[in-house]
Structure 1
Amino acid sequence: MHLTRQISRRSLLKASGAAVGAAAGIAAAGRPASAAGAFAHPGLLHTRTDLDRMAAKVKAGAAPYTAGFARLTANPHARSGWQARPQAVVYRGSGTPENYALLYNDIHAAYQNALRYHVTGESGYADTAVAVLNAWSATLTAVDGSADRFLAAGLYGYQFANAAELVRDHGDFELARFQEMLTKLFGAVSDDFLVRHNGAVISNYWTNWDLAAMVCVLATGIFCDDRAQVTRAVEYFKHGAGLGSIKNAIPVVYDDGLAEWLEAGRDQGHTLLGVGLMGTFCEMAWNQGIDLYGYDDSRFLKGAQYVAKWSMGGNVSYTANTRQKGAIRGWSGTETATAAAGVDPAMTRPVWAMIANHYTKRRGMPATYVTQIAAKAAPEGGGGDYGPNSGGYDQLGFGTLTFTRDRVEAAGGATSSPNPTAPASVSGPASASAPSSPSTMDKGDGLAATGSGDVVGWTAATGITALAGGLLLLRRRGRRAG
């Protein structure tokens, strides 16, 4: 049986117009957009309750928090006095004078120092984090490079926001200046990618590209109290046309309760990156009262279980699919994946503690494979603990310390709800029923990776909208859910 999914051109153009208009408004204003009703702060990956729990558990010598904290204190990035190396322009991608490693090392130093401050209460760590963040917001003017600039904007934008969220109330932190930098140089670029996809057909970029942009748009929106931006991000998660929206990233639910992760047909490293990014998106939304972990019958859990089983060497089903690649009004081609790629069971990323603790502790749900792989990865480290290349810095990490929690269960066995202190849930205009090694991620998987070269000029400046004509997923076996 052949099943063909086509994207509505009208719906894509409608979404594109809304997002472009919003992004243009941000650029014209030169400052973060405001909306009625601020979000809960701190409220990205960590809430005040989370931070207080970490401090109390470490002080009490409780396991496994102490092991997680030991990994933090052993990391050179977590030492107070870290000296920032801000650049006016950050470049990522072949053919450019790449210097983005300076950025991600400084971001992880800011995050780790801020985290260490909240656990110990020692002000020198907060002062170090603030100094790093202020140095970059005073210096950075652009994120540039090949197509990989979109990865840089997405990955480092969401990480920047999370580091800054932990010290946003520090007396020396230049909050307004940082919000302006984050919005104009990271959020707007990621927003534009989700609309135009660098002038490529919608399926040209694999799942992790969309997810990197999505977490940046969401994190920036929350950090800058931009409710419209958060709404766009949540709506894209549910119904976006690109491969990062949940039903495109996890297209098939099987009878065994596992759900195929599309990028498993590519390689293990990028799949783990994608799972970590989708988990990050769900966690940040949860902390603002938006439950995406449970969206579409907990579809993300089914996808995470699939990836966990596969990554540990288990056999999983994979439904063959073909995606279209290329540029709008330019070159075109197709690529077919017929089976899940091979794996290295020893490969690890600090992505599992967050997911396992949400489903098993907050919701009291079984998550056998996720729990097993989380135990193998514990205690989780962070940037600098998984190799020197960019793939080792794609997640902020330290989940054993930050996400381990006691089971939260209401009377009668009801599962807990999103952050009760957060504002009411943000809903979009429509609602659905309910590699290898880190070094393989140094290079992007955009147009340059196909041998065609980067599509220079196929960006917002061309005025060409990325129409939906690209995505063709052919399903030959298995059962599609939703």
Structure 2
Amino acid sequence: MLRMTGAATVIGIGTVIGGAVPADAATVLSSPASVGGGLAHPGMLHTQADFERMRAGVKAGKAPYKAGYAVLAANSHAQSTWKPNPLARVVRGGEGTNVGTLYHDVHAAYQNALRWKVTGDSAHADTARDILNAWSAELTVLDGDADRFIAAGLHGYQFANAAEIMRGYPGFDLARFQKMLVDVFYTQSSDFLAHHNGAYVTNYWGSWDLLSIGCVLATGILCDDQDKVDEAVTYFKSGKGNGSVKNLITHIQPGGLGQWVEVGRDQGHATLGVGLAGAIAEMAWNQGIDLYGYDDNRLLKGFEYVAKWNLGHDVPYTSWTWKYGAPGIWGGSQTLTAPSTDSRGQLRPIWESIYNHYVNRRGLDAPYVTAYAEKVRPEGGGGNYGEGGGFDQLGFGTLAFTRPKAIVSVGTPAPSQDTTAASGSPKATAQPATAGSNDTRAQGGRGDDLAATGAGGVAAVAATGVLAIAGGIIALRRRSARDSD
């Protein structure tokens, strides 16, 4: 990542020139947390710097923020008149299914919280707070058939994101919400990753694991529980199920495309997985953990594969066998031999965060992700894409994730910076990112920032969008506070 000592701001990568700092010249972000300061807050899908960027873009009427906010403001869930409908028992799957009541309120809480952060209108904050408080006072049971794990994962991580935005707001009972999140949502998601509902570990598709990972990670962040964060990250990297990244992306095909496990199943679930993986990676990134780049950008290869197929292009496919069942009860296998055309081309609000990370934040090529983001832009959210699956992702990425494109510096590379910590951590070499880079080692701190050393070390961004630094040396360094792989 990029670090500027002292000021802890993030700006786009560029060449040294001079000039002032216009708001729209390059990505300018505050570091989500100070070096060595525990978990970052707000630090899930959005940081405080993200909110400031959204607010500035909307206030200036700048594209595409203006269009992104207009979609949010028009959504019925984003109105300050929304009233919560809390339940003591939520059911997904089987008799008495009522999960819709939950997810409509979850999305209303998130959308009102986001509107508050963008506009400063406390009426939206009050509405979001009241929804969160109402549910934490009432909900005690999440029930149903195996689909209860879907509800726990999806709506657990979504609810946690709304609560993270509202952290510290007057009247919000964070402690009670944290308890509900752990007792009702996290426990089911964690248990699923450990036991897979008593089935073979391969029985459930990758998206089941991903939604559970998302809930565990978000719970850890909201509750300041590093063990839960580590639980999620460890499973993502090395878990046995189909949502662990090397099982999720089963084959690296010629040309660097990564075959996504559920592309052979159908595109609704494949794109669901893309959205979940993107959310997990963004939440981890904002805690200083680079899952986007893990294993030589394996996720990017998978995202490109799914996007390319769903945009109507051919992709290579290696036959893959799905093994299903439960020990001592039933079992079998199915060999998939080609990408499925079921739901091909489905539109979900999932691509902006992925596009903006790889292309704009990192300066990498992602042509098919880019094309898909353009196709869906401006992204909506829950309530804009129909019932059921239309609430699988929080959305509004055009508003929330749009960032100016980083400008990769040219000429002589910056010298290596000695970042050896007292514990004997390895040095991080200052080098620009490349398409195949998997530089995930780092020490201390979180978020995007610039490492500027030398006399002065004062950075600015010129009106042309390139970096300026007074008497200093810009060094590119990527950090993952606890990522040693």
TM-score (norm 2): 0.78
Cα distance between partner residues in 2 of 1:205 and 1:400 = 32
Code of the residue aligned with 1:188 in structure 2: it is T
How far apart are 1:420 and its partner, in Å?
Answer: 4.7
Aligned-partner residue type, residue 272 of structure 2:
L
Q: For 1:213 and 1:335, how far apart are their aligned partners in 2?
A: 24
Matched, 1:365 2:364: yes
Q: TM-score, normalising length from structure 1?
A: 0.79
What is the CA distance between 1:328 and its match in structure 2? 2.1
Cα shift at 1:330:
1.7
Contact 2:382 2:394 in 1 (8 A): yes
Q: Is the 8 A contact 2:267 2:345 kept in 1?
A: no
Counterpart amino acid of residue 399 in structure 2: L
Aligned to 1:201: 200
Give the aligned partner of residue 317 of structure 2.
318
1:42-89 deviation digits (Å, cap 9, x = unpaired): 000000000000000000010000000000011000000211110000
Distance 2:345 2:311 in 1: 8
Q: Please give the root-mean-square deviation of Cα atoms over the aligned residues, in Å.
A: 1.9
Q: Is 1:378 the equivalent of 2:387? A: no
Superposition deviation, residue 359 in structure 1: 0.3
Task: Say which structure is richer in helix.
Answer: 1
Which structure 2 residues correspond to residues 88-237 of structure 1 after superposition, within 5 A?
Answer: 88-94=88-94, 96-237=95-236
Counterpart in 1 of 2:47?
47
CA contact (8 A) 1:235 1:427 kept: no
Q: Is the 8 A contact 1:310 1:343 kept in 2?
A: no
Within 1, Cα distance between the matches of 2:403 and 2:142?
Answer: 37
Could you tell me which residue of structure 2 aligns to residue 442 of structure 1? none
Q: 2: CA distance between counterparts of 1:315 and 1:425?
A: 35
- 1:326 is paired with a residue of what secondary structure? strand
Letter in 2 for 1:281: I
- Give the CA deviation at 1:427: 3.7
Q: Which residue of 1 aligns with 2:38?
A: 38
Other-structure match for 1:477: none
Distance, in Å, in 2 between the alignment partners of 1:425 and 1:191 is 23
State the partner residue of 1:419: 447
Secondary structure of residue in 2 paired with 1:251: strand
| Residue equivalent to 2:460 | none
- Summarize deviations over 1:161-219 as a string: whole Å, max 9, x none: 00111111101100000000001111111011000000000000001000010000001
Query: Could you tell me which of 406, 409, 413 is aligned with 2:404?
Result: 406
The whole-number CA distance in structure 2 between the counterparts of 1:98 and 1:117 is: 32
Shift of 1:324: 1.6
The corresponding residue for 1:59 is 59
Offset at residue 38 of structure 1 (A): 3.5
**Further displaced range: 400-409 or 70-79:** 400-409
Give the equivalent residue in structure 2 for 1:468: none
Does the Cα contact within 8 Å between 2:268 and 2:343 map onto a contact in 1?
A: no
CA-CA distance at 1:329 after TM superposition = 2.3
- Looking at structure 1, the residues matched to 376 and 233 of structure 2 have their Cα atoms a distance apart, in angstroms, of 29
How much has 1:257 moved relative to structure 2? 1.3
Correspondences of 1:260-409 after superposition (within 5 Å)? 260-344=259-343, 346-388=345-387, 390-409=388-407
Q: Distance in 2 between matches of 1:211 and 1:89?
A: 24
Residue identity matched to 2:42: P
Distance 1:194 1:377 in 2: 32
Cα distance change on mapping 1:371 and 1:185 into 2, 3 Å: same
CA distance in 1, matches of 2:327, 2:89: 28
Give distance in 1, aligned partners of 2:205 and 2:161: 25
Whether the aligned pair in 2 keeps the contact of 1:311 and 1:343 (CA below 8 Å) is no
Check conservation: 1:279, 1:354, Cα contact below 8 A: yes
Distance 1:336 1:93 in 2: 27
Higher strand share: 2
1:83 and 1:50 mapped to 2: Cα distance? 28
CA apart distance, 1:338: 1.1
Tell me the distance in 2 between the aligned counterparts of 1:177 and 1:37: 24
Distance 1:142 1:313 in 2: 43
Report the CA distance shift for 1:46/1:299 in structure 2 as closer, same or farther (over 3 A). same
SS at match of 1:204: coil
Per-residue deviation, 1:345: 5.3
Seen in structure 2, the aligned counterparts of structure 1 residues 215 and 301 have a Cα distance that, compared at 3 Å, is same
* Letter matched to residue 370 of structure 1: V
Question: Quick one: structure 1 residues 135 and 193, their matched pair in 2 at CA, closer, same or farther if it must change by over 3 Å?
Answer: same
